[in-house]
Every structure is written in C-alpha cells, then in structure tokens.
C-alpha cells in the first residue's frame, strides 16, 4: 500500500495513470506476442483449444475460468470472464457460486496447513 | 443525433461514438452490398400497447402506449396479404394479443400464407380476456415465437418486469397441453432469448441444448426451437445503455463482431414491415428511427408492388446488431 501511494504521488500526474490496471489495456493482450511471437502463438493456440467445447461445455469452462480469475485475483480476467459467463448464458447465482468454490479452496488451502503447524508445534512442545 | 443528421454528415454516426464507422461506410469499405432480395415475408406490427415495459424494447412498448392498429389498417393488411401471398406473415407488437382486432387478423391471414407467426411475451396471452386466443392460434396452426430471455427468474424479470417469469412458465405449460412444442404436433413453439444486459448472446446451439434440458427437468416443458438475438441499441434499451454508461462499449462490441457472411440471410432483404399506422419499413427496428422503406414515407394503401431485388435498404448504425456474430433471422 505504501509503495502504491508513493508511486501515485510521484508518477500519476506525469503519466496520467492512477492505477496499474486499465480496462482499456485488456484488448492489448495480443500485443504480448511482439516480444516472443512463436511462444505467444503456442500459448494462444493452446488457450483457444482449452476453451473449445469438449467433455465440458464452453459455459462450464467459462465458469471455471471466472472462479480461477478470482483465485488469482486478475482484474483483466474477472472483467473478461464475467462478460463471457453472461454471454454463455450463465446467471449471477451460478457465477457467485463458482466464486464461492474458489473461495472455499483458497480458504481451505490456508486452513489445511494448520496440520503442519500442529506437527511442528507437537514436535517441539512438551 | 437523428438519423437524418447522420445521413447529412456521412462521417458521423447515430451514436456519436468516436471510432464507430458508419454502417454504410463499413459496407462500402469492405466492398459489400446490402440490397433487397425476393420479398417473401410480411411483418405486421399491430401496436405499441403492451402489458410489459421490457428494458430492452426498441419500440418502448408498454401499458401506457395507445398506438394500436385500427380496423381500417387491419383490412389493408389482409388485402395486401391476399394480393401478394407471402410465404411468411409475422405478427408482432407491443403485445399483439392486446390489439382488439387480433382474432380477426389471425383468422383472415392464416389461410393466406404458409407460415403465420405470432410473437408473444407469454404474459399478455395469459389474461382472462385472451382465453379464446390460444385455442384459435392452435386451431389455425399459428407458429408462436415467445420471449424467454433466461431460465433464471431474477435475470428474466430484470429485463421483463416483476411476476413475469412464473406466468410465462404457466403459459408454456398450457401451450404444451394444446400440443405446442411437442414433436409431430405440427404446432411450432419457438423461444427467443435476448441477453439480459449489454452483452452478446450465447451460441444458439449451446443455449438451445441447455434450455431444452432445464425446461424439461424443472418444469416438464417442451419447445420446438430456440433463437438468440442481440439487443438493438434503440428505444428503451438505448436509454438504458446511455444511463448505465454502456452505450459506447456495446455498440463498438457489436461493430467489432461484424460478420459479412450473414448479410445474404438478413431479414431486411426479404421482408416488408408495416407499422401500427400502416407505414412501410425494411424492418421493425427501423420503425423506432422512422427510417422508412425506400427512404420515403409510404402507406400500405399506396403499395402496388413489392420491393424488387437489388433495391436499396435503409440502414444506420443500429444495423451492426443484426450483423454481429450469427445475426438476426
């Protein structure tokens, strides 16, 4: 937080930028291929194949993507997959449930490490 | 900006959105042509009176509207249908069920065409005074095209208004009981799903599969086909887009999904649309802009021949809706 405040005060006026994330940057994603076109091509081909209709429907895959987007806390992905879920026919209740799945796994991942805490504490305690 | 103002300034667009190429210029730049083909469909808008005030309605139909097709214009429509024998006649509104002459129109038009369609919101037809209409539709083999935006009550009612979902389900059940939507009954019940916001519709094939599964599982309801249509940024929907700050991104999204492959099958190439007061348009959306067929105001009583293949179609930037993705049929 401190770093962000310093950055804002020092650079925001000069670069007219008040946040690292700009919605208008999302369509620029394809520009990432300019640095390493072959790798980008492989990635985008793979990406398209992953989201194609398969054993899971495109709607189901989009809901998974939305949940993962919240787990990795990517604003671009949340924007893109909120719209995609709606366009694929999902509703707010389904989307909210998907986010709860991500939340449960994230929370559970922290909590289950309590076993390690208990192991260590058990080893060094009387 | 009005359409006329936009037409005078070819670089401008209906929505005053920077970066949006006027629809006509887009066609020219891509060497494309959008002109009339054979005219096979008559679309009749019998009025703007509706029991609902849907947020996506391009004509701003609703309970307070008083524009409704009178008996004289109904007679003109029947005369036109008898003279030209359209393959399809499509009755729309508002809620067509609320026009006082609807039973007469249905009875007279049914023998004059291969396919008579009535567009229903599924709630107006549930009113007590419409009791006989559903039976008449079944008796005349009228195809019903019904609005069903979402299988989620909250989402559907956000678009169509409170208490519309349960009534729609009840009407669908009643229609199934009459044979509508059942295989081999010959009675077509087609559903239409419009997105419930400023986003594009789902894949028609995938959404139809889901609707079929869910409607059967939750309510034991069958239907014939499902169509998905994007919302047209006109009328009440345009106002909502403006108020919610979505207009620019929505129209640019429609334009970005321009699909030249579907131009040939666009409905404006093969239909004439008659407004409640008898004037002629290339499509129902153009009624919202008063964008007349052939560029001039012409009444049904003065129509002596149908538009010929190759004649121009009145377009504006709202036409990006019908050319986005899979388009309109």
pLDDT tens digits, residue range B262-280?
999 999 999 999 999 999 9
Angle of helix B204-219 relative to helix A58-71, nearest 10 degrees?
90
Our measurement of the distance from residue B135's CA atom to the centroid of its chain's CA atoms, rounded to an integer in Å, reads 23
Q: What pLDDT is attached to residue A99?
A: 98
pTM reported for the whole predicted model: 0.85
Q: CA angle A79-A80-A81, nearest 5°?
A: 100
Query: pLDDT confidence of A3, banded at 50, 70, 90?
Result: very low
Which residues on adjacent β-strands are paired with residue B116?
A: B89
Kindly state whether B207 is in contact with chain A, defined as any CB-CB distance less than 8 angstroms. Answer: yes
Three-state SS letters, chain A: CHHHHHHHHHHHHHHCCCCCCCHHHHHHHHHHHHCCHHHHHHHHHHHHHHHCCCCCCHHHHHHHHHHHHHHCCCHHHHHHHHHHHHHCCCCHHHHHHHHHHHHHHHHHHHHHCHHHHHHHHHHHCC
Residue B173: name the closest of B231, B134, B115, B117 by CA.
B134
* pLDDT on residue B2: 47
Return d(Cα B90, Cα B109) in angstroms, integer.
Answer: 10
Residue of A nearest to B256 (CA): A27
| Residue of A57, A59, A91 with shortest CB distance to B152 | A91
Query: Which of A15, A93, A101 has the alpha carbon at shortest distance from A65?
Result: A101
User: In the structure, what pLDDT confidence band is assigned to residue A27 with cuts at 50, 70 and 90?
Assistant: confident
B2-6, B181-185, B197-201, B279-283: least confident range: B2-6
Residues of chain B contacting A87 with CB distance shorter than 8 Å: 195, 199-202
pLDDT of A10 higher than 70 = no
Mean pLDDT of the B226-253 span: 96
Closest CA to A67 of A44, A84, A54, A46: A84
Q: Which pLDDT belongs to residue B97? A: 97
Residue B44, CA atoms < 13 Å, CB-side half-sphere: 31
Question: What confidence category does residue A2 fall into, taking pLDDT thresholds of 50, 70 and 90?
Answer: very low
Taking only Cα atoms into account, the Rg of chain A, rounded to an integer number of angstroms, comes to 20
Choose between B7 and A39: higher pLDDT. A39
Task: Tell me if B325 sits within 8 A of B259, measured CB to CB.
Answer: yes
Q: What is the pLDDT of residue A12?
A: 44
Q: Is the pLDDT of residue A49 over 50?
A: yes
pLDDT value at position B150?
93
Assigned token pair, A85: 């879920």
CA distances A96 to A88, A100, B82, B145, B230, Å, are 15, 6, 54, 32, 24
On whether the CB atoms of residues B133 and B103 are closer than 8 A, the answer is yes
Which residue of B19, B155, B325 to mutate against A (max A Cβ within 10 Å)? B155
The pLDDT value recorded for residue A6 is 39
pLDDT band per the 50, 70, 90 thresholds, residue B152: very high
Rounded to 5 degrees, φ, ψ at B120 are -125, 145
CB-based contact (8 Å) between B115 and chain A?
no
CA angle B249, B94, B212 (to 5 degrees): 70
Give the minimum alpha-carbon distance from B200 to chain A in angstroms, rounded to a whole number. Answer: 6
The lowest-confidence range among A24-33, B105-114, B193-202 is A24-33
Backbone phi, psi, residue B42, to 5°: -110, 120
State the pLDDT confidence band at B11, using cuts at 50, 70 and 90.
Answer: low
Rg (CA), chain B: 19
Average pLDDT value for residue range B38-50 = 98
Distance from the Cα of B142 to chain A's closest Cα (Å) equals 29
Q: Could you tell me if B14 and B1 are in contact, meaning their C-beta atoms sit under 8 angstroms apart?
A: yes
* CA B260-B287-B43 angle, 5° bins: 80
Q: Exposure string (b/e) for B105-134, b if CB count within 10 Å is 16 or more?
A: bbebbbebbeebbbbbbbbbbbeeebeebb
3-class SS of residue B320: helix
Cα distances (angstroms) measured from residue B274 to each of B46, B87, B147: 8, 16, 21
Tokens 């919610």 sit on residue: B244
Is the CB of B150 inside 8 Å of chain A's CB atoms?
Answer: yes
With 70 as the cut, is the pLDDT of residue A52 above it?
yes
Q: How confident is the model at residue A21 (pLDDT cuts 50, 70, 90)?
A: confident
Residue-wise pLDDT tens digits, B295-313: 899 999 999 999 999 999 9
Q: What is the pLDDT of residues B80-125, one digit of tens each?
A: 999 999 999 999 999 999 999 999 999 999 999 999 999 999 999 9
If we measure between CA atoms, which residue out of B139, B140, B157 comes closest to residue B148?
A: B157
Per residue in A67-99, pLDDT tens?
999 999 999 999 999 999 999 999 999 999 999
Confidence of residue A19 (pLDDT cuts 50, 70, 90): confident
CB contact under 8 A, A87 and B154: no
User: Is the CB of A59 less than 8 angstroms away from the CB of B202?
Assistant: yes
Q: What is the pLDDT of residues B159-184, one digit of tens each?
A: 999 999 999 999 999 999 999 999 99
- Give the span between the Cα atoms of B203 and B211, in whole angstroms: 12
pLDDT at residue A7, rounded to an integer: 41
Interface test with B, best of A83, A91, A92 (most B CBs within 10 A): A91
B214 and A CB contact within 8 Å = no
Supply the pLDDT for residue B13: 81
Predicted local confidence at residue A13, as pLDDT: 45
- Pairing, β B41-45 against β B143-147: unpaired
């Amino acid at each position: 937080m401190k770093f962000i405040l310093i950055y804002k005060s020092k650079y925001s006026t000069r670069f007219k930028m008040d946040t690292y994330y700009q919605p208008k940057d999302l369509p620029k994603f394809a520009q990432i291929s300019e640095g390493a076109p072959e790798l980008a091509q492989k990635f985008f081909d793979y990406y398209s194949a992953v989201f194609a209709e398969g054993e899971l429907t495109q709607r189901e895959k989009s809901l998974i993507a939305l949940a993962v987007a919240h787990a990795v806390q990517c604003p671009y992905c949340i924007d893109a997959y909120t719209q995609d879920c709606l366009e694929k026919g999902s509703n707010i209740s389904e989307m909210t449930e998907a986010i709860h799945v991500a939340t449960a796994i994230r929370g559970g991942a922290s909590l289950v490490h309590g076993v390690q805490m208990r192991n260590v504490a058990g080893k060094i305690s009387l | 900006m009005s359409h006329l103002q936009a037409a005078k300034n070819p670089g401008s667009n209906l929505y005053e959105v920077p970066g949006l190429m006027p629809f006509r210029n887009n066609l020219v730049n891509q060497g494309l042509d959008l002109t009339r083909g054979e005219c096979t469909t008559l679309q009749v808008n019998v009025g703007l009176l509706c029991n609902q005030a849907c947020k996506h309605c391009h004509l701003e139909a609703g309970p307070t509207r008083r524009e409704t097709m009178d008996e004289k214009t109904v007679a003109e429509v029947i005369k036109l249908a008898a003279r030209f024998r359209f393959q399809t006649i499509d009755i729309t509104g508002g809620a067509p069920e609320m026009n006082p002459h609807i039973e007469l129109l249905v009875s007279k038009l049914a023998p004059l065409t291969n396919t008579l369609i009535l567009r229903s919101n599924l709630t107006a037809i549930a009113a007590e005074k419409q009791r006989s209409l559903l039976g008449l539709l079944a008796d005349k083999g009228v195809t019903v095209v019904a609005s069903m935006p979402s299988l989620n009550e909250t989402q559907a009612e956000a678009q169509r208004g409170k208490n519309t979902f349960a009534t729609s389900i009840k009407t669908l059940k009643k229609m199934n009981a009459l044979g509508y939507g059942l295989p081999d009954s010959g009675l077509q019940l087609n559903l239409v799903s419009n997105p419930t916001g400023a986003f594009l519709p789902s894949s028609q094939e995938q959404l139809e599969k889901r609707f079929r599964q869910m409607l059967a599982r939750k309510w034991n309801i069958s239907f014939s086909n499902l169509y998905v249509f994007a919302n047209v940024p006109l009328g009440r929907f345009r106002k909502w887009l403006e108020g919610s700050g979505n207009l620019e991104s929505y129209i640019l999204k429609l334009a970005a999904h321009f699909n030249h492959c579907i131009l040939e099958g666009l409905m404006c190439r093969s239909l004439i649309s008659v407004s409640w007061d008898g004037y002629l348009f290339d499509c129902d959306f153009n009624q919202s802009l008063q964008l007349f067929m052939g560029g001039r105001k012409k009444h049904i009583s003065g129509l002596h021949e149908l538009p010929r293949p190759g004649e121009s179609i009145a377009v504006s930037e709202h036409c990006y809706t019908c050319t986005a993705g899979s388009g309109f049929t």
